[in-house]
Each structure stands twice: as C-alpha cells, then as structure tokens.
Amino acid sequence: MPHTLAARPKRVWPIVTALAAMFIVALMAFRMPAHAQTTPPPQPNTDQIADPSATPPDDDELWVALRDGGVALIRHSLAPGTGDPGTFKLDDCSTQRNLSDEGREQARRVGEAFEENSVIVARVAYSQWCRTRETAELAFPDKGEPEPALNSFFGDRSTAEDQTDAVRELVTNWDGPDTLVLVTHQVNITALTDVFPRSGEIIVLRPQEGDFEVLGRITAE
C-alpha cells in the first residue's frame, strides 16, 4: 500500500506539466496580434476596379464621342413593371409591358437631346418588343429597323450568349462616321457592358479594333 501511494505523484507530474504547457500556448495565442493569428483575406482584383481618382467624362464629352462615330446603347423608356405577362406574344403589343405616358415623353426627350447636341444618327436598330420599337420611333422617327439580336432574353437565357456576341459584333464593326443607335433592354445591356441602366438611359460606347470601350452614360433631361 505505501508503495502505491508513493508511486502516484510520479504519474501525476507529467500530466500537470502538459496542462501547464497547453495553458501557456493558449495564453500566448490570445495575446498575439490579430494579424499574426489569421491569414490575410485575398485582395480584390484591381484590374476590375475603376480608378477612384479618374474623373468620369461629362455629358459634353460623351456627346462629342457620339458625334465622332460612337455607339449609343439605349434602354427602352419607362415601361412600368418587370418582364412580360405569361400571355406574351411578340406580334401583339396588348400582351406585352408597354411604355407609359411618361415613358413616351422620355423617348421624345432622348431624340431632342440628340438633335440639340448635333448628333447625326446614321442607323437605328431596335428589339422587336413593342416598348423598344416605340422608344426608337418616338426618339428617331422613320429611322429604325428591327434587330432580333437586341430582343430581350429576360425570360429565356438560352440565347443570351449568342445574342450578346451578335450585338458585340454590331458595335465593334461600326466605323462611323456618324452614330449607331441600338435600343434594347436592361438585361441585354448588362450582359454586354456590365452596366445596369435606368429606363431611357444612353450608354456611350467607343468601338475599337475587335472590342469597344464604355465611355459613360447620359440621361436625357
């Protein structure tokens, strides 16, 4: 029995020592600066971030770019709602989401803005949806023509890539000397440019060899 009692302390001390070591390690980790405990988060890709110090072009500069053979990518004017009814038919405007009176007035202001800034429009193409056609006709009477590549793919994304490639080709192949106007939908514009436009907003593009540059956006007041 005495032999057993005397042996116990020899087995306890290693356990106590190990616990003390663990306590010291935990204490050091707690007191260690936060930046030394964790891996720094991944840095954003600066190639995708606009230079915050860059001054965006003003409207006058954008109108000059259009006069010099630029491309105006326009979202149709105000048409309250989202998408189209389930009864949608391409050849029946009564089954579609259409321009409001405010939207029609907005479209007229777009056309007036082009005239006031001496922009000569060489070609107007629009989606076959009624609201885009009406926007084009009110802004640029007797100049528009339907272009299926500009049709909305909001309800069917299966054609999105092919349509976006086709519109990209329209833009990059444009060589002026006057302006190309494309009237389409938010989803199409965003797919092509990463810009989410407001109703009736003009996105100004500068064609380049095999590509294009988004210069800015104009709202006709």
Identify which has the larger pLDDT, 201 or 18: 201
- Tokens, residue 137: 């006709």
Q: What is the DSSP letter of 71?
A: E
- Residue 86 is predicted with a pLDDT of 82
- Within the chain, strands assigned E span 71-75, 121-126, 144-146, 179-184, 202-208, 211-218
Question: pLDDT at position 17, please?
Answer: 53
Report the pLDDT value the prediction gives residue 4, as an integer from 0 to 100: 43
Name the residue ranges covered by the structural domains of the chain. 59-218
% pLDDT > 70, the chain: 76
In DSSP terms, 202 is beta-bridged to 74, 218
Q: What pLDDT is recorded for position 56? A: 75
The pLDDT value given to residue 113: 98
- Write down the pLDDT at residue 20: 55
Over the stretch 165-196, which tens digit does the pLDDT of each residue have?
Answer: 999 999 999 999 999 999 999 999 999 999 99
> 62 pLDDT exceeds 80?
yes
- pLDDT score at 1: 43
Average pLDDT, stretch 203-212? 94
Closest to 169 in 3D by CA, of 216, 128, 215, 209: 209
Whether the per-residue pLDDT at 64 is higher than 60: the answer is: yes
Q: What is the mean pLDDT of the chain?
A: 83
Q: Which DSSP letter does residue 185 get?
A: -
Do 63 and 206 meet the contact criterion of CB atoms below 8 Å apart? no
The answer, yes or no, to whether residue 52 has pLDDT greater than 60, is no
Collect contacts of 80-87 with beta carbons under 8 A, ≥24 apart. 83/154, 83/155, 84/129, 84/152, 84/154, 84/155
Quote the pLDDT of residue 8: 45
Looking at the predicted structure, is the pLDDT value of residue 7 above 80?
Answer: no
Q: Domain 59-218: which topology?
A: Rossmann fold (3.40.50)
Residues 29 and 26: their CA atoms lie apart, in Å, by: 5
